[in-house]
Structure 1
Amino acid sequence: MPTMIFVNLAVSDPSRSRAFYESLGYSVNEGFSDENAVSIVISDTITAMLLTREFFAEFTSKSIIDATTSTEVQLSLSADSKEEVDSIHEKALAAGATPAGEQDHGFMYSKSFDDLDGHHWDYVWMDPEAAAGGAPEMTVDEMRAGTTHS
């Protein structure tokens, strides 16, 4: 059985977040969704659990960050093409996301956004032939030259 990942994210309004992720084309697992949580099925092995801040706090003794001002993680998902990257990015922005940068290094192409609660998402396409050979040698300056941050 493949390893699954459940990404738990604190949200201010589960209903609003549900509508946002459904507008990106993701489905909801109703069996794990209620007024405190929405289970967003990203793939067979990836689920985003969107939890109210109060419910999220029940699972940790640490402070919960405000994702609009602090970052703990950047969530990156692969795409099958540059067009798919563009499509999901356009859908996210239309649903209220904030653009958060993009990269185009030829062999690798990505666009990022912050969702309604500030969680940072990257959608990345990588040329399969280039990926098979490993990452090309690039200086930090060359990498920065192909990157913009919003």
Structure 2
Amino acid sequence: MTKLIYISLPVADLNASMAFYKALGFGQNPQFSDETGACMVWSESIYVMLITHAKWRTLTQRPFPPAGTAKMMLTLAMDSRDAVDAMNRAAAAHGGQADVNLPEDMGFMYTRDLADPDGHMWGMCWMDPAAMTPANQD
């Protein structure tokens, strides 16, 4: 069986969050979407489930993190430095925040971090394939 990851995120405004993730390049799977949640597709193995606060409460009663705090950050590998920059521009233009942390440019690796409209943090990372030698691929 193919291994998949489903990332569930509580969102205050489902339509705004769907528009945000579509602007970043995610597709939507209507088969797993309704008025309480949307399945946003990044790849054949990565899915983000955007869930209204009311629906989220049927899953857990744990408190939402206070605004401005971070519990985790997920990072997506991008095809190029330009794709990393484009993702940050799209985040800023569609209700999110670009560069929530300082960008990092190590030559062989380039990262920039963004937050969605609910403050969920995402890292965007490009790594030069030529820098990936067998010794550092383990």
TM-score, normalised to structure 2's length? Answer: 0.90
User: Residue type matched to 2:85 in 1?
Assistant: D
- Do structure 1's residue 28 and structure 2's residue 24 form an aligned pair? no
Q: Which runs of 4+ in 1 moved over 6 A?
A: none
- Do structure 1's residue 54 and structure 2's residue 54 form an aligned pair? yes
Q: CA deviation at 1:56?
A: 1.1
CA RMSD, 1 decimal? 1.5
User: Residue type matched to 2:90 in 1?
Assistant: K
Aligned residue for 1:106, secondary structure, equals coil
Match of 1:123 in 2: 124
- Do structure 1's residue 87 and structure 2's residue 67 form an aligned pair? no
Q: CA deviation at 1:59?
A: 1.4
- Do structure 1's residue 134 and structure 2's residue 119 form an aligned pair? no
Q: Is the CA contact 1:57–1:64 (under 8 Å) kept in the aligned structure 2?
A: no
Aligned residues: 134
Q: CA deviation at 1:65?
A: 1.8
Superposition pairs of residues 55-74 of structure 1, within 5 angstroms: 55-66=55-66, 68-74=67-73
| Distance (Å, rounded) in 2 between the aligned partners of 1:65 and 1:38 | 21
Identity of aligned residues (%): 35
Moved more, 19-28 or 4-13: 19-28
Aligned residue for 2:90, secondary structure, equals helix
Structure 2: state its 5+ residue gaps: none
| Distance (Å, rounded) in 2 between the aligned partners of 1:63 and 1:106 | 40
Q: CA deviation at 1:109?
A: 0.1
| Distance (Å, rounded) in 2 between the aligned partners of 1:91 and 1:128 | 25
